[in-house]
Amino acid sequence: MSLLLIGTFAVGLCIGLPIAVAIFLSSLVVMLALGLPFTLLAHQMLTAVDSYTLIAIPGFMLCGTLMERSGLVERLVDLSTCLVGWMCGGLSYVALTATVIFAGISGSGTADTAAVGSIMIPALQKDKYESGYAAAVVASGGSIGIIIPPSIPMIIYGVTTNTSIPALFAGGYLPGVLLALALAPYMYYVARRKGYGTVTKFSRSRLGTSVRRAFWALLVPVVIVGGIVGGVVTPTEAAIIGVMYIFVIGLFVYRSLALQDVLASFIEAAVLTGVIMFLLATSSLFGWIMAREDIPNVMVNAILSVTSDKFVILLGLNVLLLALGSIMDTIAILVILTPLLMPVAVQLGIDPVHFGIMVVFNLSVGLLTPPVGYALFVASSIAKTSVGQVTRAILPLLAIKILVLLVVTYIPFITMFLPNLLRVTR
């Protein structure tokens, strides 16, 4: 039955079915073969999405769409320009800084890439940056969006493995910032080699003006993440508070948000949430069947029978996650694979928070690799250039990202410092 499940899923992918449909059909085939009732299928799918915590997903989606339509992203980009635009290759730093700031709001790497990319990629192209490189810079920065909290994949991981979401959020900050800092030197090298200049001179007065213009927008991640990590509100409550906060400042403070924009934001967030929830439901069904066939225990025994060396096993898990991240959706991997791999992590004595950040970091790399690299496709679409051209430009950035991943994997202190310092409940 395990072979039938995995084989049917592989066939579905090979003939071009959407991942969620391939997962559902493979699960359906196995349930029919086992003679299980359809009511059980419906029950498993409904149970998977019947969670109070998951209400945070449409909330964070709506935060991102409202931010984009209310013009707050432009204010953040302007602030980033004042902060780093005066450096060599300043616009690439602006794109990276803006994606990092926006990452603290949207919870989605794809939304991060789309929101900042719609502004920064045309600006980079206008400043004579090659289109492929411009898209690569924005996509690599946007992929950080699922590492820096709030993060939708972290919420799904927390719900799936019963791990503290506030602890995961606290653990994601330093790895995300470390990754951004690691990407910056390469951008400087490219700027010097290609002759990309600055876009502005440093001005304290202009910086002060930009800070005042973006002040209320900068408080959004503070309100959302600060409330969660501080234990004041749950992720779901924080998402709703974030929506209300953005709505108020967009409509009444900045007066840049029209009622038709609010309606359009709700529709866009609803569509994105529907896609995520359907994928979550089908993946949970797939995972339930795998658990029923005792695949997790088989995998644990198989891995530990080969080697008990923690270093080697962690390296193997990273290779596995990187490979699957390039061909499978992030949510499907989180729901199907983490219950299988968690027992291995427990056997090795790995903290669930550290393991969760490692998994999410791996999946952020998958956002940049075809054929399922959503951030890559979004950036290439905005830049109006081929995916191949963007892929060639992004390879050095991918190499840097994988090096940082290994550092985060083998130095748990980077992940666990803030959760331990803040004594976040685990």
Tens digit of each residue's pLDDT (9 = 90 or more) over 48-90? 888 888 899 999 999 988 988 888 888 888 888 888 888 887 8
Tens digit of each residue's pLDDT (9 = 90 or more) over 13-32? 888 888 888 889 999 998 89
Domain range for 96? 52-279+294-422
- Check: pTM over 0.85? Answer yes or no: yes
Residue 31, Cβ density class (10 Å: 0-12 exposed, 13-18 middle, ≥19 buried): buried
Residue 37 lies in a domain: no
Looking at the structure of the chain, the number of domains it has is: 1
Tokens 């409904």 belong to residue: 46
Cβ-based neighbours of 3, under 8 Å, separated by 6 or more: none
Tokens 């550290």 belong to residue: 354
At 425, the pLDDT band (50, 70, 90 cuts) reads low
Region 316-343: mean pLDDT is 86
Tens digit of each residue's pLDDT (9 = 90 or more) over 193-241? 888 877 778 888 888 998 999 899 888 888 888 888 888 898 999 999 9
For 185, other C-beta atoms within 10 Å of its C-beta total 10
Tokens 């699922």 belong to residue: 146
Residue 319 lies in a domain: yes
Residue 287 lies in a domain: no
Q: What angle do CA 284, 9, 271 make, to 5 degrees?
A: 55
Residue 20 lies in a domain: no
Residue 8 lies in a domain: no
Evaluate if residue 330 carries a pLDDT over 90.
no
Cβ-based neighbours of 8, under 8 Å, separated by 6 or more: 25, 26, 29, 30
Average pLDDT over the chain reads 88
Residue 342 lies in a domain: yes
